[in-house]
Structure 1
Amino acid sequence: MTETNGAANSNTKNGNFICGVVEGFYGRPWTTEQRKDLFQKMKKWGMDSYLYAPKDDYKHRAYWRDLYTVEEAEHLTGLITAARESGITFYYALSPGLDITYSSAKEVTALKRKLEQVSQFGCVAFALLFDDIEPEMSEADKEVFQSFAHAQVSVTNDIFHHLGQPKFLLCPTQYCATRAMPNVSTSEYLNTLGSKLAQEIDIMWTGPKVISRLLTVESVEEITEVLRRPPVIWDNLHANDYDQKRVFLGPYSGRSPDLIPKLRGVLTNPNCEYGANFIAIHTLAQWSRCNVDGKRDLSLNDTVSADIKLETETEDGVVGEDVPSTLSPNMYHPRHALKNAINDWLPEFNKKKAAWGVIAKPQPAVAPTIPIPIIPSINTCMSLTTTTSTAVVSVASAPAISNANHLQALAEVCSNVTESFAQPLPGPVMNSLISETKVVSEPVIPIVNPSLGISGVQNSGSTEPMDCNTTPSNSPAHVAKIPTEDDVMFENTSTCSGTSGSMQVEIDGTSPTINGNQMIVENDADNHEPGEDTENDEVKDVEKRLTVEDLSLLCDLFYLPFEHGGQGIQLLQEFNWLKSNAHVVIRKSKDEEEKGKADIEEWHARAAKMNDMCSAVNRLFQRLTYCNNRELLYDLYSYIWDMRGVVSLLNSYVKWLGFSNGWKETFMSGDQEPWVFRGGLTADLQRLIPVDSGNDLFVYKAPEIPTSKIYTIRPYLPSDEDAVYAVCNRITGVSGTSAVADRLVGGYLTLSPEFCMVVEDDDGIVGYIAASLNVKTFNQKMAVSWIPELQVKYPLEDITNDLPSSVQEAIRYFHSFTVDVPEQLARQHPSQIMCSVLPTVTDQSIPKRLITCILAALRANGSFGVHTTMSSMDKESHEFYGKLGFVDYNSGQDESPGVITMCRSF
């Protein structure tokens, strides 16, 4: 689709319709440079409004009273000027509700002074936001105002008139239907706003819920009647500040163009990552220019639909909703809008842009807690209602949800809360007005709440769930980092009582992540061929160029809060089918195989299709790492890196199912169906892997600098033996003999090959994992058919002082081998494993993915516990397995001297 001229496509149905973007999320704000780029895009797409309201920006919320410095004023003035030059109305918002005393003349004067200063910068539109605050007044306010609503109305009207009645927005404390007490029509608060607030002031509304799946004409008419004016929708459909695993690249959806004449406007509050918002904003702009609902009218109007060719499958053959190949300009269809947006998005990846700082999640981080609720509350830009609650259910006992409503659960989450498990970490506040390209953290001083007379502005015990980053009660300047090497991204555990968290970045002023004042110069041989100029306008190698099909896959993998894209759904369905029907590839008699030949062929055909889908994700991942726009890459990289790893893991497991003859019917145990509660498609796919108590294995730290290197996990083949031995010898530092490898891994490769897997890169095998299903049975086989051979191969008299100690120990082991295993260990943790990965493997997630795959294979054969042994002097192995969730086995006197046993259940 060619870029459209905004002037030529203005909204003709409602000349006063506000359409644009609100930067209103929690976490790292956008940079000045990004905002200016946004204004240019909005102008091109015919949008007209931008609301400056970054929750964690220094002087927007936490320090709303403080005036801007000369340097900050210069940047803010530049932003306002840039917006005006692009024809964009710049709304400057303040959020004073955390600690303002409404009845204090001094407080109101401070508010006026702050907004007067901003008006001197050229700002002609303002907003006051009272979201995410306690709906309680101080004692001083109670003596003056009849209600909380009266207090807010008084201050807002005063400010509005003081500033000369400019364009003005108000975000109420009850900003969605689930927060209206007791309901929308009878809410005293909302009715007071409607009747008392100056009629020229527009009121913001998120819809039925904080994140509304659907906005209906009926719901808009209801709130319009109560507010005595049509609302401006603050739309959280694409907001992702509540979940570090999710980014939303799907089209604007669930809102009929029929709403446009009934609304004052729509402002989208999108992803924290600026570069990830092209689709969200582009499709909203398309929607705003339409007056016909394509999804509805095409199905109702036979005359129209008969003339339109419908594509009922995507390019990959995924059966999905009907998508028209052509539409009239005034008809909106989400999938059609997505195609238009993708076509315009592709050139953005070829623009030369540098990255500042290393890759870091912009969302507020949440300290890990246990237990992990299966339906945690969502803590995006605004807080959830506290009028209802939901029980906390463990992952293992999660209820199954029907396919027809496979994402409806999340819709319910938006109006439910859970009981807090832990106090949140205080979060830093940031300043995005001191540089074009960087955001810095600010030192925070505890604020004294004048209305309460205490340090801090909110009791952490009553912090509401979407309120991710309230002003802390103590300085976050020295907040402790989460003590883990891995980013906590799986099943984030934020709950309603406390979701404020520290950013997943350094805040001591030295981190390149948050300061962003150091342009990243990548020296990654994996990403660029020798001699290749990374700043070329076009990547010469066609295989490295992103395509429209690649971006379609990317959007489908990270679609919308309540639905996956077609190719994402296909991944879920294909793997689930392969897992559920794996019994057809079990070794059978010849007669049975002949009867089930068609089923076997279908299984392998669909496994091949799964492999093709995995290859497509790999291709997308690698092409993305080659793009010229490094800023955009850094915004998206951690998401696609994580997704690629999970899809690859599933594919490895499918290969094992098809390759192994050890699969048993015990696998058909009725595992829970994996519908979205948290983590998006990535977590949905992870839930398909049959490993309970494995959440820690899905916690990965993405690389700080992008790399295109891909590691593949696959079943072990007999031809891999030499390479596996070589890896073992490199890790143990042994050469010239295979004794140590024969001891550590040889028995598994010979007697239990179906439970052996390898990991390889482009250069060959770089790691392996080997296991036995039952250590007792395995030891008996060892004693009969493996150890005797080694006793002959390595006689005791071969031991000499010049041999490495590990070789001497291996030879003694062969001649003193015993089949005995402690009874309790054999009962609780019957399987035994050995895992090794070369130090050249820099991806810290690889050992976890190896372990996950082998645990799934063992689980499929009826085992629920695993152990490994090592020398008590082997500190490296102890640390290695400890990071993989293994704990020391307390066996009393059962353990051999000098030997440590570690175990884990799954």
Structure 2
Amino acid sequence: MSKSEAAKGGNARGFISGVVEGFYGRPWTMEQRAELFKREQKWGLNSYLYAPKDDYKHRMYWRDLYSAEEAEQLTTLILAARNHNVEFIYAISPGWDITFSNPKEVAALKRKFEQVREFGCRSFSLLFDDIEREMCPADKQAFDTFAHAQVAIANEVFQHMGQPDVFLFCPTDYCASFCTPNVSQSAYLHTVGEKLLQGIDILWTGPKVVSHKISVESIEEVSAVLKRPPVIWDNIHANDYDPQRIFLGPFKDRPTDLIPKLRGILTNPNCEFYPNFVAIHTLATWCKATPEEEPSDVEMREEDQDLCYSPQKALTLALTEWLQDFLNTDQPGGPQHPAARLKKDASVDEPMQTDLGEAAYVPGPNENPLYTAEPLTLDDLKLLSDLFYLPYEHGATAQTMLQELDWLKNHSWAVAAQTEKTAEWCSRAQHFDGLCEAVVQMFNRLSNAPNRSILYDLYNYICDIKSGVGLARAYVKSLGGQGRPSAHVMNDDPEPWGFRGGLSGEFQRMLPGHGNRDLFKHPPMTTVYCIRPYCPEDKDEVQRIFREMQRPGGDKAPLMMQPPLMSDSLLELDAPPSPHCAVVVEDEMGMCGYALVLPEAKPAAVKIQRELGATVLKDYPSLLTLQVLPRVTDPSPAKRMISQLLSSLKNSGSAGVLCEVRHSDRRMLEFYTKLGSFKPIKIPGLPQDVLALGASL
């Protein structure tokens, strides 16, 4: 089956595509949902899953039936969806307090679904996400596991409702990171896959709750366990977990090769309704992607690694159409807004409304001209999207601004140096100022857009970014000596708008690891390191570093209480290592690390009575040891030392090199893991606290 056939309903029951209203926070209004159905029909999407977490009769009070007024609203909504060829899927989330083994609870669940069916709903969903996994004593007596309890009630309700064509089940372990120990070995998922009736489809968010990427391989793995293709509940544009972020970037990092592997895909987007134009529009473009729509731009093709779908092209299409919404005066507050005149033909002579018959104000020749609102542009929306892109990625302009600010801050010494760097600093400061000015102008034009509904959903976010950019702009000007006292924002007594965070920010800054998930990664440290061959005079310093790194600290035991390593003997050899087998690294404070190799590891193994075995000695005949002091936070010097020594060993004919690391040495374990070339190897009789790693040459 082709992707296009799957997306258009080529499988027996049709490919589910659309929107899930499943976030925490204020639910969308009935009018907004009706508008959503129009857009879904226009863009080719076919489903809407009703699951707002803060609709109390969906989750908290799931047993309560809807009142007459609520029933009328839901009936109208379901009919509106049907009129736009959108399947309305009603969800209940009873997992907080349901007793699975109580027949009255099951009856209440059936009664609630039956009521919604009377409103005209034909499709349903049962959600067990974000709940505690511990069963009550009564359920423990009735069911083997939590999974068995959920599956039993889902199957019973599904059959009671006549086995509808669409019945979705959300497991408690709805992403790979929740599975114990992993997807393929998850007892919970295996029970769901084996016991849940085949007519019931299963929701899945991917590797994580908010998945950066979803690969074909990961979907094939979970499909094999669930014994059916999943429906993706995609949180890539969800923002209910962070009140300072909104996501206006394109649907991306999901290859279109997924389409024939899935039962469907639903986006759970931003809490704010109107800014979801981009999220839903680009999802629709992705669902319709076919080889015939292959981008002709080779550079774009290389960037996206998808011949059928280009995120940037999809984004431009969405923003171009969204721009018309911003300029739409048929919205609340639109026609009365001064900017509404922007879309009118300037040649049409219309009388201006006046109060009490007064003539329109006309400024004198030396007076300020009247304010004229400039129309919002496509470039403004592209900038807006770049500033509020995606959870794991800033847009290109935002990334450039962060890089420029980082460089200007770290090279502020150049301002007074009067060198070539001074001219470069001034040029880049001017460029940064221009980027900041573009944000300000975008804010001004957006604030004057006729469609106030979209603006009000965005206003807190654009105010915040405008303020943050303004602080950075003033800081750079002060570094260049251009800032007036009022622009010196980094003082001892700033205004409340001069800092961010509130109580939540205070807590986060006090915790370890603050900022380690920032999307902007600082470049490697600019400290100059010198790597040179080892010489006999270095022996004392090398041994000093060795002893310092073995001192007890954290969970380290004294050296004499730790199991010996083969590499320990490298520092006790009578003959100094040859220059091509040993290097040291120095910074401005002196020697700060070393790397040594022994072409033949067997003598070191014999010395501590380590039995390597013929196979290990054949594949990894050489031995490596490496240590750098904690003050060296940049991993580059260690990588360079290893690269130099491994190249030398390879040229000498060695097949591979091994090293040993204690499990308690978490710093070195992390280094070798991230290096990638070293893999764990099995050595019989190895002490429990020691890990052997090998790299083939």
Report the TM-score when normalising by structure 2: 0.64
* 1:278-320 deviation line (CA, Å, top 9, x unaligned): 11111111111114599xx98xxxxxxxx636479xxxxxxxx
CA distance 1:224–1:584, shift in 2 (3 Å): same
CA distance 1:7–1:224, shift in 2 (3 Å): closer
Matches within 5 A, 1:349-498: 349-352=326-329
Aligned to 1:266: 265
Q: Does 1:656 align with 2:655?
A: no
Q: For the Cα contact (< 8 Å) 1:9–1:46, is it kept in 2?
A: no
What SS does the corresponding residue of 1:757 show, helix, strand or coil? helix
What SS does the corresponding residue of 2:142 show, helix, strand or coil? coil
Q: Counterparts of 1:24 and 1:103 in 2: how far apart (Å)?
A: 27
What SS does the corresponding residue of 1:200 show, helix, strand or coil? coil
Query: Among 150, 154, 157, which residue is 2:155 paired with?
Result: 157
Aligned to 1:560: 390
What SS does the corresponding residue of 1:81 show, helix, strand or coil? helix
Q: Counterparts of 1:98 and 1:14 in 2: how far apart (Å)?
A: 34
Aligned to 2:123: 125
* 1:159-208 deviation line (CA, Å, top 9, x unaligned): 11111111200000110111112221121211111111110000001111
What SS does the corresponding residue of 2:169 show, helix, strand or coil? strand
Q: Counterparts of 2:341 and 2:103 in 1: how far apart (Å)?
A: 57
Matches within 5 A, 1:484-563: 532=338, 544-563=374-393
Deviation at 1:834? 7.8
CA distance 1:834–1:46, shift in 2 (3 Å): closer
Q: Counterparts of 2:148 and 2:200 in 1: how far apart (Å)?
A: 15
Deviation at 1:534? 5.3
Q: Which amino acid aligns with 1:230?
A: P
Q: For the Cα contact (< 8 Å) 2:92–2:125, is it kept in 1?
A: yes
Deviation at 1:353? 6.1
Q: Does 1:104 align with 2:81?
A: no
Deviation at 1:8? 13
Higher helix share: 2
Q: For the Cα contact (< 8 Å) 1:546–1:623, is it kept in 2?
A: yes
Q: For the Cα contact (< 8 Å) 1:26–1:241, is it kept in 2?
A: yes
Deviation at 1:336? 1.1
Deviation at 1:351? 2.2
Q: Does 1:336 align with 2:313?
A: yes
Deviation at 1:147? 1.3
CA distance 1:63–1:535, shift in 2 (3 Å): farther
Q: Which amino acid aligns with 2:400?
A: Q
Deviation at 1:544? 2.0
Q: Counterparts of 2:78 and 2:499 in 1: how far apart (Å)?
A: 48
CA distance 1:160–1:846, shift in 2 (3 Å): closer
Q: For the Cα contact (< 8 Å) 2:471–2:489, is it kept in 1?
A: no
CA distance 1:49–1:607, shift in 2 (3 Å): same
Q: Counterparts of 2:205 and 2:490 in 1: how far apart (Å)?
A: 53
Aligned to 2:412: 582
Query: Among 757, 768, 777, which residue is 2:486 paired with?
Result: 757
Aligned to 2:207: 208
Q: Which amino acid aligns with 2:227?
A: R
Q: For the Cα contact (< 8 Å) 2:429–2:476, is it kept in 1?
A: yes
Q: Does 1:622 align with 2:444?
A: yes
CA RMSD of aligned residues (A): 3.0
Aligned to 1:667: none
Query: Among 60, 63, 85, which residue is 2:61 paired with?
Result: 63
Deviation at 1:521? 11
Q: Which amino acid aligns with 1:757?
A: S
Aligned to 1:400: none
Report the TM-score when normalising by structure 1: 0.49
Q: For the Cα contact (< 8 Å) 1:94–1:129, is it kept in 2?
A: yes
Q: Does 1:94 align with 2:124?
A: no
Q: Counterparts of 1:141 and 1:8 in 2: how far apart (Å)?
A: 40
What SS does the corresponding residue of 2:269 show, helix, strand or coil? coil
Q: Which amino acid aligns with 1:585?
A: V
Deviation at 1:58? 2.0
Q: Does 1:308 align with 2:297?
A: yes
Q: For the Cα contact (< 8 Å) 1:249–1:277, is it kept in 2?
A: yes
Aligned to 1:280: 279
Q: Which amino acid aligns with 1:287?
A: W
Larger relative CO (CA 8 A, sep 6+): 1 or 2? 1
Deviation at 1:27? 0.7
Q: For the Cα contact (< 8 Å) 1:169–1:204, is it kept in 2?
A: yes
CA distance 1:847–1:128, shift in 2 (3 Å): closer
Aligned length: 472
CA distance 1:770–1:581, shift in 2 (3 Å): closer
What SS does the corresponding residue of 1:276 show, helix, strand or coil? helix
Aligned to 1:603: 425
Deviation at 1:15? 7.1
Q: For the Cα contact (< 8 Å) 2:176–2:207, is it kept in 1?
A: yes
Q: Counterparts of 1:20 and 1:770 in 2: how far apart (Å)?
A: 47
Q: Counterparts of 2:57 and 2:341 in 1: how far apart (Å)?
A: 37
What SS does the corresponding residue of 2:480 show, helix, strand or coil? helix
Q: Counterparts of 2:486 and 2:322 in 1: how far apart (Å)?
A: 40
Aligned to 1:646: 468
Q: Which amino acid aligns with 1:338?
A: L
Q: For the Cα contact (< 8 Å) 1:13–1:260, is it kept in 2?
A: no
Aligned to 2:179: 180
* 1:646-671 deviation line (CA, Å, top 9, x unaligned): 111111111111116xxxxxxxxxxx
Deviation at 1:13? 8.0
Matches within 5 A, 1:217-256: 217-256=216-255
Q: Which amino acid aligns with 1:35?
A: R
Deviation at 1:154? 1.1
Q: For the Cα contact (< 8 Å) 2:30–2:77, is it kept in 1?
A: yes
Q: Counterparts of 2:10 and 2:344 in 1: how far apart (Å)?
A: 40
Q: Counterparts of 2:10 and 2:490 in 1: how far apart (Å)?
A: 67
Matches within 5 A, 1:507-906: 532=338, 544-586=374-416, 588=417, 593=418, 596=419, 598-659=420-481, 715-716=483-484, 756-758=485-487, 845-846=496-497
Q: Counterparts of 1:353 and 1:228 in 2: how far apart (Å)?
A: 49
Q: For the Cα contact (< 8 Å) 1:231–1:265, is it kept in 2?
A: yes
Q: Counterparts of 1:222 and 1:769 in 2: how far apart (Å)?
A: 53
Q: Does 1:345 align with 2:322?
A: yes
Q: Counterparts of 1:635 and 1:654 in 2: how far apart (Å)?
A: 31
Deviation at 1:216? 0.8
Q: Counterparts of 1:614 and 1:125 in 2: how far apart (Å)?
A: 49
Q: Which amino acid aligns with 1:547?
A: T
Deviation at 1:273? 0.5
Q: Counterparts of 2:101 and 2:219 in 1: how far apart (Å)?
A: 33
Deviation at 1:150? 1.1
CA distance 1:770–1:231, shift in 2 (3 Å): closer
Aligned to 2:132: 134
Q: Counterparts of 1:211 and 1:35 in 2: how far apart (Å)?
A: 24
Which 10-residue stretch deviates more, 144-153 or 94-103? Answer: 144-153
* 1:508-541 deviation line (CA, Å, top 9, x unaligned): xxxxxxxxxxxx8999xxxx7xxx3758755979
Deviation at 1:49? 0.7
Q: For the Cα contact (< 8 Å) 1:349–1:628, is it kept in 2?
A: yes
- Tell me, which stretches of 5 or more residues in structure 1 are unaligned? 1-5, 299-306, 313-320, 356-519, 661-714, 717-755, 759-767, 772-832, 836-843, 850-906
Deviation at 1:9? 8.2
Q: For the Cα contact (< 8 Å) 1:346–1:548, is it kept in 2?
A: yes
Deviation at 1:322? 4.7
Q: Which amino acid aligns with 2:273?
A: Y
Q: For the Cα contact (< 8 Å) 1:350–1:537, is it kept in 2?
A: yes
What SS does the corresponding residue of 1:50 show, helix, strand or coil? strand
Q: Counterparts of 2:322 and 2:490 in 1: how far apart (Å)?
A: 45
CA distance 1:193–1:66, shift in 2 (3 Å): same
